[in-house]
């Protein structure tokens, strides 16, 4: 693949990364230490083990599916199923793509994105030789529609006859937060909102509150991220490891039954690892 990997939704490692004149099937499994979206996560960790499969036609069209098993102590359930399809184009210096993803979160899920049902995404990237630049735009659908924009700069380095790939990258994410407003209202472990919603049923404070994000319609920069991806390919098998540091900004104003307070933003860190096989 002449260009680097675009930072997409949680399926970033589920994608095909080589240009081929034939159609391929990819199968694999991935472990992710916590669930972050736009620099935000629930106070309760959500580590996922995610088997997946995808079919990638030589024309660029693809379909893929995955389920994510929540491995946190005391949980042990399939917390998320994702189905997606789209089209990727890879040129010598230019890449672009479109995709649609459907999310099926468990009613017990406390992931910050759990009230979002559908995500539409388009991206474009260009190889400037010294580095790659990408831009992507998305629409997220919950009870309302969110708009997202993202920018990425990365630089892949290759070694061991191109079998080893190391890719440092930086990102900027911006958007609205209707999905986050719904999370605070129904699922947050911090507010304890949403009876019967797993960790959010009574919350860590032992009381149930209703939460609301005041600025959910405002478009703003949400976080900066730094990422390091390392992968090694052995014939049709690729193993990979990734670390991500996230630096959220612009805290929301949260209104609950107990009063109004600013969102307590903290820098975050999570990692991923996995293996996949190309048929």
Q: Is the pLDDT of residue 31 over 50?
A: yes
Q: How far is CA 188 from CA 31, 191, 229, in A?
A: 23, 6, 30
Instruction: Output the average pLDDT for the chain.
Output: 87
Give tens-digit pLDDT for 73-130: 999 999 999 999 999 999 999 999 999 999 999 999 999 999 999 999 999 999 999 9
Is residue 82 a part of any domain in this protein? yes
Residue 240: which of 187, 169, 185, 167 has the closest Cα? 167
Is residue 11 a part of any domain in this protein? no
Is residue 17 a part of any domain in this protein? no
**Residue 257 pLDDT:** 80
Is residue 6 a part of any domain in this protein? no
CATH number at residue 75: 2.40.160.40
Is residue 176 a part of any domain in this protein? yes
CB atoms within 10 A of CB 27: 13
**Residue 256 pLDDT:** 83
- In the structure, what pLDDT confidence band is assigned to residue 189 with cuts at 50, 70 and 90? low
Is residue 2 a part of any domain in this protein? no
The residue written with tokens 């996949």 in the block is 276
- In the structure, what pLDDT confidence band is assigned to residue 190 with cuts at 50, 70 and 90? low
| Model pTM score | 0.86
Q: Which domain holds residue 138?
A: 24-278
Counting the structural domains of the chain, the total is 1
Is residue 5 a part of any domain in this protein? no
**Residue 202 pLDDT:** 31
Q: Is the pLDDT of residue 200 over 50?
A: no
214 DSSP 8-state letter: T
Is residue 14 a part of any domain in this protein? no
Task: For residue 41, list its beta bridge partners.
Answer: none
């Amino acid at each position: 693949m002449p260009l680097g990997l675009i930072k997409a939704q949680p399926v970033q490692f589920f994608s095909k990364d080589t240009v081929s004149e034939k159609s391929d099937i990819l199968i694999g499994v991935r472990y992710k230490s916590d669930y972050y979206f736009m620099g935000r996560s629930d106070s309760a960790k959500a580590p996922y083990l995610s088997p997946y499969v995808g079919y990638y036609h030589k024309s660029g069209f693809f379909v893929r599916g995955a389920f994510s098993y929540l491995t946190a102590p005391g949980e042990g359930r399939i917390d998320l199923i994702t189905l997606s399809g789209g089209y990727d184009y890879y040129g010598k210096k230019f890449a672009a793509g479109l995709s649609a993803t459907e999310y099926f979160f468990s009613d017990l899920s406390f992931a910050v994105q759990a009230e979002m049902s559908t995500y539409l995404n388009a991206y474009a990237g260009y190889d400037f030789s010294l580095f790659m630049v990408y831009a992507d735009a998305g629409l997220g659908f919950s009870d309302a529609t969110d708009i997202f924009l993202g920018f990425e700069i990365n630089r892949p380095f290759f070694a061991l006859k191109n079998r080893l790939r190391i890719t440092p990258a930086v990102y900027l994410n911006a958007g609205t937060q209707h999905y986050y407003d719904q999370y605070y209202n129904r699922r947050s472990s911090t507010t304890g909102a949403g009876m019967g919603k797993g960790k959010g049923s009574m919350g860590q404070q032992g009381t149930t509150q209703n939460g609301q994000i005041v600025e959910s319609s405002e478009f703003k920069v949400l976080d900066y991220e730094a990422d390091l991806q390392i992968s090694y390919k052995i014939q049709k098998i690729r193993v990979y490891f990734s670390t991500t540091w996230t630096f959220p900004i612009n805290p929301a104003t949260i209104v609950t039954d107990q009063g109004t307070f600013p969102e307590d933003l903290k820098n975050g860190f999570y990692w991923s690892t996995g293996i996949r096989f190309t048929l």
